[in-house]
C-alpha cells in the first residue's frame, strides 16, 4: 500500500463491504417458493457464529505463533493473556447469542427445516479448526456414525485439518512451555521433595484431628479416615513419576509429568510476580475450556427445545450427540485436576531467599 493510499478517505459502507455482506442471506425457502420469515434469523445467527470462529482462530493462531519459539519471550506473555481473554469473551458472547436463537419457536423452525437437509453445524470447518488448534485430538473425539469427523469435509479441508493436528496444538505448545519452567530445582531447592514433605505433614495433621475429635462417633471417624485415604491417592500421580507415566499410558491424563509439576508450582506460588501471568494464562485456558463446554450444553438444550428427539439435519442423533460432545470434548482437564493437588497456604514449603528474589522479577526461562 502506498503511503498516500494509507491516509486516503474511505466510507464506512465500503470499508465493511456491506453490499457483499448483506447480500449473503439467501433463504432456501424463498428460492423454493415458500418464503419462511424466520429463516433470515437462522442464517444470520450461523453466519455470525462463523465470523466469531474466524476471529477466535485469528487469536489462537497468533498465540500459537508466540509459543512456538524454544524461548518464549516474556515481553509477549501479557499479549498472549489478553488474546486468550478475548477468545473467552467471544465464546461468552456466543453463549449469550443462543437467547436470540431461542426466540425462534419450534413450529416456526418447521416452516423451513426441511429445506436444510443435509446441512448441519457438524459440517462447520472453522469450528473443527478451533477445536484442533486448541488441542482436541481425533482419538479423543466422538465418532460420527462410527467414522472420523473429517468424513464430511473435502480432501482439501481434510488436509488442512491434518496440518493443524500435526503442526502443534496450543495444548502441546503450552505443555512444552511448562516443561521449561526453571524453578522446579533451583540452587539446591527441590520443589517436589519440599511439596512431598508438606503433603505428608498435612495428612498427618488431618489424621490426628480426626482421631482426637471428641465430636465424631467411631463410624464417622472410620469414614473420614477412608476419605482421607482417597484424597491421599490424588497426590500419587504427582509424587510418583512412574504412576503418572502409567496414567498417561492408560489415557487417564494427558499432560506430561514435568509440565504437571510445573503447573502445580505455578498454582501454589501464583502471588510471586514472575508466576502471576503464567497462573492467569493457565486459568484462561481452563476458562475457554469451560465456556466451550457451556456453549455445547446450551446448544444441545436449544436443539432439544427445537426438535426434541428427532434426528439432526446432518443425520446425527441431535440432542444426544451434542450433549455427549459437551461431556467428552474437554481439552485442558489436566489443568482443572491441579486443584486436587493444592495444599493450604499455611502448609506451603518456604522458598529459599535466593529463589524468592528470582521470583520477584522476570527471569528468562531455561531450555
Positions at the binding site for substrate: 113, 313
Contacts of 179 (CB under 8 A, 6+ apart): 256, 258, 259, 262
CB atoms under 10 Å from CB of 317, counted, come to 14
**Binding region:** 113, 299, 313
Phi-psi region of 25 (alpha: psi -120 to 50; beta: other; left: phi over 0): beta
CA distance 111 to 107: 7
Question: φ and ψ at 186, to 5 degrees?
Answer: -145, 115
**Binding region for heme:** 299
Contacts of 125 (CB under 8 A, 6+ apart): 153, 157, 160, 161
CA distance 72 to 77: 8
Q: What's the chain's Rg over C-alpha atoms? A: 25
CA distance 304 to 297: 11
Contacts of 259 (CB under 8 A, 6+ apart): 174, 175, 176, 178, 179
Which DSSP letter does residue 349 get? P
Tell me the three cell numbers of residue 142.
Answer: 466422538
CA distance 136 to 215: 49
Residues 106/42, Cβ–Cβ less than 8 Å:
no
> Would you say the C-alpha torsion 137, 288, 281, 125 has a positive or negative sign?
positive
Cis previous bond, 118, omega within 30: yes
CA distances from 276 to 65, 139, 271 (A): 22, 34, 6
Residues 348/268, Cβ–Cβ less than 8 Å:
yes
Which DSSP letter does residue 315 get? S
Amino acid at each position: 500500500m502506498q503511503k498516500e493510499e494509507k491516509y486516503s478517505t474511505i466510507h464506512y459502507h465500503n470499508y465493511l463491504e456491506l453490499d457483499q455482506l448483506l447480500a449473503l442471506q439467501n433463504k432456501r425457502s424463498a428460492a423454493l417458493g415458500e418464503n419462511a420469515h424466520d429463516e433470515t434469523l437462522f442464517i444470520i445467527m450461523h453466519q455470525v457464529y462463523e465470523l466469531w470462529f474466524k476471529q477466535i482462530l485469528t487469536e489462537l493462531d497468533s498465540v500459537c505463533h508466540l509459543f512456538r519459539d524454544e524461548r518464549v519471550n516474556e515481553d509477549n506473555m501479557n499479549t498472549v493473556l489478553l488474546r486468550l481473554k478475548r477468545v473467552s469473551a467471544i465464546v461468552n458472547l456466543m453463549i449469550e447469542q443462543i437467547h436470540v436463537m431461542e426466540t425462534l419457536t419450534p413450529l416456526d423452525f418447521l416452516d423451513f427445516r426441511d429445506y436444510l437437509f443435509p446441512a448441519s453445524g457438524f459440517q462447520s470447518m472453522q469450528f473443527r479448526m478451533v477445536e484442533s488448534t486448541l488441542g482436541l485430538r481425533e482419538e479423543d473425539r466422538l465418532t460420527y456414525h462410527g467414522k472420523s469427523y473429517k468424513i464430511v469435509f473435502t480432501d482439501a479441508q481434510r488436509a488442512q485439518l491434518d496440518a493443524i493436528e500435526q503442526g502443534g496444538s496450543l495444548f502441546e505448545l503450552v505443555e512444552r512451555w511448562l516443561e521449561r519452567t526453571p524453578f522446579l530445582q533451583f540452587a539446591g531447592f527441590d520443589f517436589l521433595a519440599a511439596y512431598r514433605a508438606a503433603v505428608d505433614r498435612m495428612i498427618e495433621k488431618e489424621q490426628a484431628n480426626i482421631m482426637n475429635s471428641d465430636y465424631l462417633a467411631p463410624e464417622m471417624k472410620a469414614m473420614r479416615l477412608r476419605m482421607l485415604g482417597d484424597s491421599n491417592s490424588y497426590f500419587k500421580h504427582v509424587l510418583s513419576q512412574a504412576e503418572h507415566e502409567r496414567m498417561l499410558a492408560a489415557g487417564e491424563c494427558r499432560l506430561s509429568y514435568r509440565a504437571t509439576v510445573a503447573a502445580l508450582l505455578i498454582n501454589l506460588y501464583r502471588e510471586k510476580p514472575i508466576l502471576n501471568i503464567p497462573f492467569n494464562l493457565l486459568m484462561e485456558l481452563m476458562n475457554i475450556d469451560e465456556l466451550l463446554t457451556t456453549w455445547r450444553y446450551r446448544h444441545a438444550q436449544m436443539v432439544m427445545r427445537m426438535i426434541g428427539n428427532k434426528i439432526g439435519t446432518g443425520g446425527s442423533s441431535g440432542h444426544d450427540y451434542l450433549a455427549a460432545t459437551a461431556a467428552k470434548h474437554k481439552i485442558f482437564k489436566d489443568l482443572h485436576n491441579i486443584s486436587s493437588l493444592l495444599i493450604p497456604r499455611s502448609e506451603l514449603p518456604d522458598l529459599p531467599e535466593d529463589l524468592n528474589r528470582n521470583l520477584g522479577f522476570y527471569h528468562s526461562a531455561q531450555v
